Amino acid sequence: MIREKLVVVGNGMAGCRAVEEILAREPSKFHIVIFGAEPRVNYNRIMLSPLLAGEKSFEDIVINGHDWYADNGIDLIVGDPVVSIDRVAKTITARSGRVEAYDKLLLATGSDPFIIPVPGKDLPGVVTFRDMDDVGAMLEAANRGGDAVVIGGGLLGLEAAHGLTRRGMKVTVLHIMPTLMERQLDESAGWLLKQALEARGQSILTQADTAEIYGDGRVQGVRLKDGREIPASLVVMAVGIRPNTALARAADLAVGRGVHVDDHMVTSDADILAVGECVEHAGLCYGLVAPLWEMCRALADGLVASPSGYQGSVTSTKLKVSGIDVFSAGDFSGGEGRRISFCATPPAESTSA
Ligand SMILES: Cc1cc2nc3c(=O)[nH]c(=O)nc-3n(C[C@H](O)[C@H](O)[C@H](O)COP(=O)(O)OP(=O)(O)OC[C@H]3O[C@@H](n4cnc5c(N)ncnc54)[C@H](O)[C@@H]3O)c2cc1C
């Protein structure tokens, strides 16, 4: 039997989950080739927080090791990002110059961290929190000790602050809004969360608007618009994410905030699909995994089975923010202006970090 070739761009959570869903339905339909920009196998990005905090090792957070790729006949090309798509020839080209033909192409390129455009944003010592390399840079800084500033009091920023505190750094969180995690938490819950985090040794400055990151050849601190200066040898920017749409845009696919897809994750080109945080479905982009798993199911159904498509996702969940349980019910899309009712419950036991 001649198998079709499926090329996957992105060896992250959604790309590999989509492949798992396809294999579960029809293991021999495609010869699968996966390109990953990161130089490693597929791991659980959510677990970067416990890894930073010293609670897990990289081996603990691997989802699919080399055996999985080998056992399923998948060619894995790591550390070689795809740089262009030729939709007429139906090929992709990677940074190394490698060209791969496809019958179906799956874009699963995730998101890029947003960098606030302030002076000093490119200084050594300014990092984001997205992948293993970012965690490596934070751990190196933590080994040297000293002060860290985390810009952003959302889920990611608070996780980074927790991990760095656990690693012995003195951490200040800067958040531009009056209360923490305001997209998910109501004001009282945000205030309770702030109290709980401060009790664990973090400094939290709300309504703190960054003017500049200063330093002579390397980060030395952050200056706020009101003139306050917070010294730091490490600055973590965790102010949001943007769907990574560069490849799709360059290939002239329909793109809004994310790559436009239908209910089976098919883009404006019938032979190109997209899944995960890079996607925009019915006007919404997503930044948590629950809706992405639904997308992966809908994609596999569309490719190798038939039935229902993706209809968007309204779910309830329980998150852990810096070791504190946050219960929620609502819509987890990254859409603008969505207000969800939450409550934060600090654990009854010890509050030491
Ligand atoms: C620290 C942290 C904590 C999180 N905690 C939670 C949580 O508690 N709950 C939750 O639901 N979600 C959480 N998330 C979000 C969750 O991890 C993401 O929603 C999920 O990883 C998105 O999957 P994805 O496959 O779309 O993107 P990713 O997992 O980011 O995968 C995209 C991959 O594509 C690669 N890539 C990009 N461009 C190219 C290219 N041109 N060629 C080849 N490869 C490319 C990237 O390097 C990356 O490896 C967290 C995220 C982080 C960073």
- Say if residue 290 is in the same domain as residue 254: yes
Percentage, residues of the chain above pLDDT 70 = 87
pTM for this predicted structure: 0.90
When pLDDT is cut at 50, 70 and 90, the band that residue 334 belongs to is very low
- Asked if residue 347 is part of any domain, the answer here is no
- Does 11 sit in the ligand 1 pocket, CB within 6 Å? yes
Print the domain residue range for 43.
Answer: 4-112+241-304
- Say if residue 134 is in the same domain as residue 216: yes
Nearest CA, atom 12, ligand 1: 288
* pLDDT at residue 309 is higher than 60: yes
- Say if residue 129 is in the same domain as residue 233: yes
When pLDDT is cut at 50, 70 and 90, the band that residue 318 belongs to is low
Nearest to 55 by CA among 162, 195, 179: 162
- Say if residue 149 is in the same domain as residue 217: yes
Please tell me whether residue 172 adopts helix, strand or coil conformation: strand
Q: Are 261 and 281 within 8 A, CB to CB?
A: yes
- Asked if residue 87 is part of any domain, the answer here is yes
Nearest to 160 by CA among 49, 242, 41: 49
* pLDDT at residue 285 is higher than 90: yes
* pLDDT at residue 184 is higher than 90: no
* pLDDT at residue 23 is higher than 50: yes
* pLDDT at residue 339 is higher than 60: no
CA dihedral 269, 270, 273, 274 (to 10 degrees): 40
In this prediction, residues 259-288 reach a mean pLDDT of 96
For residue 272, give both structure tokens: 């190109």
**What is the domain count for the chain?**
2
Chosen domain end from 239, 271, 288: 239
* pLDDT at residue 62 is higher than 90: yes
- Say if residue 209 is in the same domain as residue 174: yes
- Asked if residue 337 is part of any domain, the answer here is no
In this prediction, residues 307-314 reach a mean pLDDT of 68
In this prediction, residues 153-170 reach a mean pLDDT of 96
- Asked if residue 311 is part of any domain, the answer here is no
- Asked if residue 338 is part of any domain, the answer here is no
- Say if residue 101 is in the same domain as residue 196: no
Could you identify the atom of ligand 1 that is nearest to the CA of residue 130? 53
Q: Are 203 and 174 within 8 A, CB to CB?
A: no
Chosen domain end from 239, 260, 291: 239
* pLDDT at residue 312 is higher than 90: no
When pLDDT is cut at 50, 70 and 90, the band that residue 313 belongs to is low
* pLDDT at residue 338 is higher than 60: no
Query: What local confidence, expressed as pLDDT, does residue 311 receive?
Result: 74
List the CATH number of the domain containing 233.
3.50.50.60
Return the best residue to mutate from 7, 8, 46, 293 for the ligand 1 pocket (most ligand atoms within 8 A of CB): 46
Q: Are 249 and 142 within 8 A, CB to CB?
A: no
When pLDDT is cut at 50, 70 and 90, the band that residue 343 belongs to is very low
Query: What local confidence, expressed as pLDDT, does residue 351 receive?
Result: 33
Q: Which helix (H) or strand (E) holds 17?
A: helix 13-25
- Say if residue 95 is in the same domain as residue 33: yes
- Say if residue 149 is in the same domain as residue 169: yes
Whole-number Å distance, alpha carbon 223 to ligand 1 midpoint, is: 30
- Say if residue 86 is in the same domain as residue 137: no
- Asked if residue 75 is part of any domain, the answer here is yes
Query: What local confidence, expressed as pLDDT, does residue 280 receive?
Result: 97
Could you identify the atom of ligand 1 that is nearest to the CA of residue 15? 25
Chosen domain end from 212, 239, 266: 239
Q: Are 244 and 112 within 8 A, CB to CB?
A: yes
Could you tell me which residues are beta bridge partners of residue 308? none
When pLDDT is cut at 50, 70 and 90, the band that residue 56 belongs to is very high
- Say if residue 235 is in the same domain as residue 250: no
Compare 1 and 206 and report the one with higher pLDDT: 206
Nearest to 43 by CA among 22, 68, 25, 71: 68
- Asked if residue 133 is part of any domain, the answer here is yes
In this prediction, residues 118-133 reach a mean pLDDT of 98
- Asked if residue 333 is part of any domain, the answer here is no
- Say if residue 218 is in the same domain as residue 250: no
- Say if residue 280 is in the same domain as residue 225: no
